Amino acid sequence: MAERIDAASFEERVLKADKPVLVDFYSDTCIPCKRLNPQLAKLEEARAGELDVVKVNINFDTQVAVDNGVMAAPTLVLFQGGKEAGRTVGFKALKELEEFIDGALA
């Protein structure tokens, strides 16, 4: 299961990471966010060692969401080398997530 991080750990866990990091900006009350959780767990397992998956709750860490231009939940932002490499909004099936990541990192 993806680790929930907060504003205090965002820079270290995401911006200074030595491998790509997929950040799930979510809300506890968001149905598509809840449906996305199992897909992210599968992705995390399939890409173990090559990609980290973390979650940021937009209700508790609003400033992190604002700083990253998040306007809706779920928003998935892929970071590589401390910079945004790709972004997608809404529920995605595992195949769509893998295509998104492969395309963004190509």
Question: What's the pLDDT tens digit per position in 48-105?
Answer: 999 999 999 999 999 999 999 999 999 999 999 999 999 999 999 999 999 999 999 9
Confidence grade of residue 1 (pLDDT, cut at 50, 70, 90): confident
Q: Residue 22's closest CA among 96, 72, 92, 97?
A: 97
Q: What is the pLDDT of residues 21-55, one digit of tens each?
A: 999 999 999 999 999 999 999 999 999 999 999 99
Q: Which residues are catalytic?
A: 30, 33
What mean pLDDT value characterizes the chain? 97
Q: What pTM was computed for the model?
A: 0.96
- Spatial distance between the Cα atoms of 29 and 98, rounded to a whole number of angstroms: 25
> Is residue 22 within 8 Å of residue 72, measured between CB atoms?
no
- Distances from the Cα of 83 to the Cα of 8, 31, 64, 68, angstroms: 18, 28, 14, 11
- State what percent of residues in the chain have pLDDT above 70: 100
